[in-house]
Every structure is written in structure tokens, then in C-alpha cells.
Amino acid sequence: MERIAQSPLAIYQQHLEKDELAYQWSAQANRAVFYPRVICPFTGSDRLEWRVSAGLGTVYATTVTYPREGDPYNVALIDMDEGFRLMSRVEGIAPIAVKIGMRVKFSVHRPGGGEPPYPIFIFVEEKA
């Protein structure tokens, strides 16, 4: 295995800084790899290429969390159109209104205070 110049997490974070949702692609497995890794979990290959998602996905599962302090929020598993799944949240609508099968679009949340940006999703109204 070649020595990597930068960690997969650092590359992923750099893409988020540019408002991009990056994922890796394994040509050997012919499928997306996410969360960023050094080795393909399907084949063991270290030949993973970086791609940028178009940002559209579908809610696979969702729940609402009710913290002791603060407002409730949803936690959702999002199936991206490119074939990978990630955990995030859907914003812009009430947490209880997030439904399985709902189409969503990627956005970046920047919490500030030295915290790194992370992906969130916004509800996309489907055209009839």
C-alpha cells in the first residue's frame, strides 16, 4: 500500500469546507464507499477514488430526539442517489414531519467555535 499524503477524513472535511459532499468509489467493488476509509471494506483494495455527490437523497429511516434541554430534533439515515448511506438530520421542517421516503438535498452546517462543518439535509418538494 502506498503511503497516503492526507487522511481520508481530512480530505472529506476539505470538501465540506467547499460545500461538497465527497465520498469514495471502489472500482474493484463497483460501488460507493462511505464513511471515508483507507481500505475498501468490500474488497480490501487501497485503490479508492474520490467523487462528489450531486447532493440528492431519500430518507431511509428517521427518529425524533427529545433532549432534556433544548428543542427536539430529528436523526435520519439518508440514502444518497450515488449508492451510499449516511446519518444526519433534516432541517427546515418540524422534526416530526420528516418521513421515510422523503426526498432531501445536501447542505453544510457550520457550527462555528472551531467545530468542523458537517452535512445536513433540507426537504425537497417533488414536482408533480
Instruction: Indicate the SS3 state at residue 12.
Output: helix
pLDDT per residue as tens digits for the range 52-87: 999 999 999 999 999 999 999 999 999 999 999 999
**56-123 sits in which CATH class?**
mainly beta
Residues 6 or more apart whose CB falls under 8 angstroms from that of 96 comprise: 64, 72, 74
The one-character DSSP state at 125 is P
Quote the cell numbers at residue 8.
Answer: 481520508
The CATH 2.40.50 domain(s) of the chain lie at 56-123
DSSP characters for 60-117?
EEEEEE--SSS--EEEEEEEETTS-EEEE-EESS-GGG--TT-EEEEEEE--BTTBPP
Return the residue matching grid coordinates 427546515.
92
pLDDT per residue as tens digits for the range 20-29: 999 999 999 9
12 φ, ψ to 5°?
A: -60, -45
| 24 vs 114 pLDDT, higher one | 24
pTM: 0.87
State residue 3's pLDDT score. Answer: 53
State residue 125's pLDDT score. Answer: 79
For residues 22 and 61, what is the distance between their CA atoms, to the nearest angstrom? 22
Mean pLDDT, all residues of the chain: 92
Q: Which amino acid would we find at residue 95?
A: P
